[in-house]
């Protein structure tokens, strides 16, 4: 990063007003989303069309320790990012695919950073990838997918991600103190759930200034996960997790709804955020071909929000009737997977929520929303 300090400083001076201009545009557009407004929801998020998409595939070179050759690890697609603020800088961790192998692309996690939340500089090498280690059996050769990040009170970053071996997706955990060097902590679901399909872990957290800090409820950390129904798991230390069960099975806490935008599946977005009204969970969804929302394309991925009880994260209190984000732009409609807006990264930055999302499993875009006084500081 040292070699890029001058460039970053120049960017900050040149583009320092850019975010403020975009913020003003967002504020002026607030009335656009009144039809889906609820007292508890974080709205409206306005897509920043003037800069989207903000990250595209690149021909960056990397030596793969498993293939034993140099590859262009992000030349096919970049998508599904998470983000965190560190030293007044937005760090984005994103999924990238190459074009090699039987799955037409192995996934790795890349890192980019920005002083204005809009213009990003990439690291040359991925920061989390399949390697000759104890996780290879789970990560090769599909790869490492869809990161979601939070910070602990003592400054450790915890990243949930999906390991894909080509047949089964498994929810995994990694930790770091500097965002560049990561320790793989292994599978998050073990014992009888070790070989069950699992992914998309969103840990309950609170906003402390521009940090997103994991928060205990009733003496435990909580995590929403899943990509059909949503389930819960708890932890004492953020490393060892126990699924919440009902009658010996995973307890569903959010399910698809016939004839709605989320009729086929629901899948966790970024972390779940504690507010004075409860726990707000952003989630992704998919529309059924038949029996879904007829105002949306078949198979469209849209974003929703749900509210859970502050003292009982399994108790659903409210849910948006309409999606708050859907595929509309060309880069959201056509790509590796058509009709996709997939949210995974959100940061509080300079008075606004910046939401980063994958488009058509091919590009990365952003939307913004003013931080509301209803949220816990």
pLDDT single digits (tens) 206-239 = 999 999 999 999 999 999 999 999 999 999 999 9
Asked if residue 375 belongs to a domain, the reply is no
Local confidence band at 103 (pLDDT 50, 70, 90 cut-offs): confident
Give the containing element (helix H, strand E) for 14.
Answer: helix 5-28
Asked if residue 128 belongs to a domain, the reply is yes
Asked if residue 376 belongs to a domain, the reply is no
**Which token pair is 39?**
């007292």
Using the predicted structure, report yes or no on whether residue 18 has a pLDDT greater than 90: no
The tally of domains found in the chain comes to 1
**Which token pair is 363?**
């590009």
- Say which residue the tokens 């004839």 belong to: 259
Asked if residue 233 belongs to a domain, the reply is yes
Query: What is the structure's pLDDT at 136?
Result: 98
Asked if residue 268 belongs to a domain, the reply is yes
Distances (CA, A) of 33 to 133, 270, 329, 333, 356: 48, 21, 18, 21, 19
Q: Which domain holds residue 37?
A: 2-370
pLDDT digits (tens, 9 = 90+) for 319-328: 999 999 999 9
Query: What is the structure's pLDDT at 375?
Result: 59
Query: What is the structure's pLDDT at 37?
Result: 58
Using the predicted structure, report yes or no on whether residue 15 has a pLDDT greater than 80: no
DSSP 150-218: EE-TTS-EEEEEEEE-SS-EEEEEEEESSSSS-EEEEESS-GGGTTS-----EEEEEEETTEEEE--BT
Cα 249 to the chain's mean position, in Å? Answer: 26
Asked if residue 377 belongs to a domain, the reply is no
Average confidence (pLDDT) over 78-98: 98
CATH number, residue 80: 2.115.10.20
pLDDT digits (tens, 9 = 90+) for 19-70: 655 555 554 554 444 445 589 999 999 999 999 999 999 999 999 999 999 9
Average confidence (pLDDT) over 278-286: 98
């Amino acid at each position: 990063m040292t070699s890029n300090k001058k460039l970053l400083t120049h960017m900050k001076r040149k583009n320092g007003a850019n975010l403020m201009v975009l913020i003003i545009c967002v504020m002026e557009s607030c009335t656009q989303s009144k039809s889906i407004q609820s007292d508890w929801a974080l709205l409206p998020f306005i897509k920043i069309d003037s800069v989207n998409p903000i990250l595209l595939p690149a021909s960056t070179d990397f030596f793969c320790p498993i293939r034993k050759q140099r590859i262009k690890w992000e030349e096919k697609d970049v998508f599904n990012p998470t983000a965190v603020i560190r030293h007044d800088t937005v760090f984005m961790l994103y999924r990238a695919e190459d074009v090699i192998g039987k799955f037409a692309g192995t996934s790795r996690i890349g890192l980019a950073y920005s002083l204005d939340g809009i213009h990003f500089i990439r690291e040359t090498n991925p920061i989390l990838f399949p390697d000759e280690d104890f996780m290879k059996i789970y990560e090769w050769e599909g790869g490492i997918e869809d990161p979601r990040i939070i910070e602990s009170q003592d400054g450790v970053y915890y990243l949930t991600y999906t390991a894909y071996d080509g047949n089964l997706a498994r929810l995994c955990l990694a930790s770091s103190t500097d965002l560049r060097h990561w320790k793989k902590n292994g599978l998050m679901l073990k014992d009888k759930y070790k070989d069950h399909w699992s992914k998309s872990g969103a840990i309950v957290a609170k906003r402390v200034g521009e940090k997103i800090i994991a928060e205990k409820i009733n003496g435990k950390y909580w995590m929403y996960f899943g990509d059909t129904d949503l389930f819960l798991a708890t932890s004492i230390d953020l490393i060892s997790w126990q699924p919440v069960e009902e009658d010996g099975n995973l307890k569903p806490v959010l399910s698809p709804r016939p004839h709605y935008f989320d009729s086929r599946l629901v899948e966790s977005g970024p972390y779940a955020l504690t507010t004075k009204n409860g726990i707000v969970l952003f989630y992704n969804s998919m529309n059924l071909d038949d029996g879904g929302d007829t105002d949306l394309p078949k198979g469209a991925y849209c974003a929703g929000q749900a509210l859970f009880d502050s003292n009982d994260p399994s108790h659903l209190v409210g849910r948006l009737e309409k999606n708050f984000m859907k595929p509309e732009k060309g880069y959201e409609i056509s790509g590796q997977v058509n009709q996709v807006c997939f949210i995974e990264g959100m940061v509080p930055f300079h008075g606004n929520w910046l939401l980063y999302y994958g488009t058509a499993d091919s590009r990365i875009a952003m939307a913004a929303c003013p931080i509301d006084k209803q949220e816990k500081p």
